[in-house]
Structure 1
Amino acid sequence: MKYRQLTKEQLLELHEEFAKFLATQQIDVKEWKTIKVEKPEVADEELNIFSDLVWEDVLSKTKYLEHISKNDINLFKCSSKEIIRIYIKLNDTTKSFLDTNDFNWFLKNPVNDSIDYFKASKKYAEERNLEIFKLIEMGSVISKGDLFKATSQLIQ
């Protein structure tokens, strides 16, 4: 397995797609129920294959990631050859990016002495989608890139 198996919640959301996937494997609902009971290892392998296909599709379409914590924001732009990272450090310990009011303050006051910005880029050390997947597994979320674009213009 290249990535990880989708969670039960994710599989429930994708039940129609999974049914179509099973159909391409020439497995109908009745046969799937039998496989789950009599050959759980085969069922697990089918879930693994489907999960990898879904992850591959999602990761291939991913252009931006965000990871927001108490005092740090990591923004990523994922191109085909490199990943660009903007790191935002909040030096005011009385504020938190996780607090809605403080985050809104940051959006209204991006140029403040208590905020530091760093920008860097690097070529992928391994396959692009694997690196993006690892960032997601570490807590990053896929975004539309609005914060990345605004911050990037701010620190030019």
Structure 2
Amino acid sequence: MKYRQLTKEQFESLHEEFARFLASQHIDVNEWNQLKKEKPAVAEDELNVFSDVVWDDVLTKTNYLEHFSEKTVNLFKCEADEIHRIAIKVNWDINLLEQEGFEWLMKNPMDNSVDIFKGTKPYASERNAELFDLVEKGSGVSKGEIFEYFSQLIG
């Protein structure tokens, strides 16, 4: 398996897509139920293959990721061959996970208590694998507005 199996909730939200996937494997509902009972390892393999297909599709379409903690923000722009990162650290008692803290940062990005760093590096391994690692560590897919805002600020 290339990534990890989707969660039960993710499978439930993708049940129609999974049904189409099974149909493409020439497996109907009755056969699927029979597989789960009689050949659970084969059913597990089908779940794993579908999970990898979904993850690959999502990660291939991902252009931006972001990760927030109480004091730091990591923003990523994910291009084909390299990844750009803007790291922001707030050096005073504010919580960026709360609306008030986030709004303060957006209004005061050049405050003396804010450190902003940027960098670019080529992917060390396969692009989607690196993006998946960032997702597993808590990053979420974004539309990139925050990255672009800070990118324009720092030039």
TM-score range, shorter chain: over 0.9
List aligned pairs for 1:137-152, cutoff 5 A.
137-152=136-151
Please state how far the C-alpha of 1:23 moved relative to its aligned partner: 0.3
Per-residue CA shift, 1:65-124, capped at 9, x if unaligned?
Answer: 0000011000000000000000001001x1111121111111111110000100000000
What residue in structure 2 maps to residue 15 of structure 1?
Answer: 15
- 2:100 counterpart residue number: 101
The separation in 2 between residues aligned to 1:39 and 1:50, in whole angstroms, is 17
Q: Tell me what 2:76 maps to.
A: 76
Unaligned runs of 5+ in 1: none
Distance 1:88 1:14 in 2: 35
What secondary structure sits across from 1:87 in the alignment? strand
- C-alpha separation between the residues in 2 aligned to 1:147 and 1:138? 19
1:6-155 to structure 2, matched below 5 A, reads: 6-92=6-92, 94-155=93-154
Distance in 2 between the 1:63 and 1:99 partners?
25
Give the count of matched residue pairs: 155
Counterpart residue number, 1:2: 2
**1:141 Cα deviation (Å)?**
0.2
d(CA) in 2 for partners of 1:95, 1:105: 9
SS in 1 for 2:116: strand
Aligned-pair identity in percent equals 59
Moved over 3 A (4+): none
What TM-score results when the alignment is normalised by the length of structure 1? 0.98
Amino acid of the structure 1 residue aligned with 2:148:
K
Q: Distance in 2 between matches of 1:139 and 1:11?
A: 20
